[in-house]
Amino acid sequence: MLVILKRDNEEVNEQAAHLIAGAIKKKPSLVLGLATGNTMVGLYKHLVRLYRAGSLDFSQVTTFNLDEYLGLPASHPQSFHHFMQENFFRHVNVPPRNIHIPDGSVRGDYDAYCVSYEHSIRFAGGIDLQLLGIGRNGHIGFNEPTSSLASRTRLKVLSRETLDDNSKFFGPGEESPRCAITMGIGTILEARKILLLATGDSKAAAVAKSIEGPITCAVSASALQLHPDVTFLLDELAGAQLTQRDYYHRVLEMTALLTPNRLS
């Protein structure tokens, strides 16, 4: 596990864009797992900038988003489809046929739909690089506390904390979705490489538990400790409750010296 501590949000976005751009340059047909949320907005801006400057090409990239609210059509302004379209896809050249986001308007046999999403990931060769944010309760994707660490893509009931966090995005009187379709923790752990971004003090407790706490279903992101190639990219506020900050800085220095391609 690599923990990179940056000064602020802007530096986190810059470094994340650098890592993703590096991965695409190394493998133009990269299978990229994408995430939504405020944390990702700045990163997508950076990636769009690199694309417009002609230094990044997404024409062979395939993407899989982590999750989507159940019951929201793609056109709903709070859907993750809409978020991805507005913040990223409409500005870059990922071929539409290569874009995969769970379908929140699916009805009926949810299990069959979720199995088909997993199948599409496998058919694409598996996810090379999975981007993650983190919820205040430690969720990744919408894997709420007590999610099985072996879970696969499935329907998930949202926790009270997540409902509260999300309600501000919905209009007065508009009910926010109570369920979502999300890749499972087991699905996420199969990605070859994982990059988790967290900024701001509201994430500090979840980040510290995920990195330094025990592996537990009470903090879904703690399952990342089981993965051999995870990078946590944090700003000072999000990393504030970590007790081993000095060690992480030293590990980073040695990584830059001994295995610099982990950072490019």
Q: Do residues 230 and 146 make contact, with C-beta atoms less than 8 angstroms apart?
A: no
Options 9, 65, 87, 137, the catalytic residue = 137
Is 67 catalytic? The answer is: yes
Is 137 catalytic? The answer is: yes
State the distance between the two ends of the chain, measured CA to CA, in whole angstroms.
Answer: 16
Cα–Cα distance, 121 to 34 (Å, whole number): 13
> Smaller CB distance to ligand GLP: residue 88 or 142?
142
Place of tokens 């976005």: 13
> Smaller CB distance to ligand GLP: residue 38 or 244?
38
Ranges of beta strands (E only) in the chain are 2-6, 31-34, 62-65, 67-69, 99-100, 129-132, 154-157, 179-182, 193-198, 230-235
Task: Tell me, residue by residue from 143 to 182, as one string, x for binding to ligand GLP by CB under 6 A and - for no binding.
Answer: -------------------x--------------------
Task: Tell me, residue by residue from 14 to 53, as one string, x for binding to ligand GLP by CB under 6 A and - for no binding.
Answer: ---------------------xxxxx--------------
Report the site for ligand GLP in 92-121 (rule: CB under 6 A): none
Q: Where are the alpha helices (DSSP H) in 97-244?
A: 110-123, 160-167, 185-189, 204-212
Task: Tell me, residue by residue from 116 to 135, as one string, x for binding to ligand GLP by CB under 6 A and - for no binding.
Answer: -----------------xxx
> Smaller CB distance to ligand GLP: residue 60 or 241?
241
Other residues' Cβ atoms within 10 Å of the Cβ of residue 16: 25
What are the catalytic residues? 67, 137, 139, 144
Residues in contact with ligand GLP by the rule CB under 6 A = 35-39, 66-67, 133-135, 141-142, 162
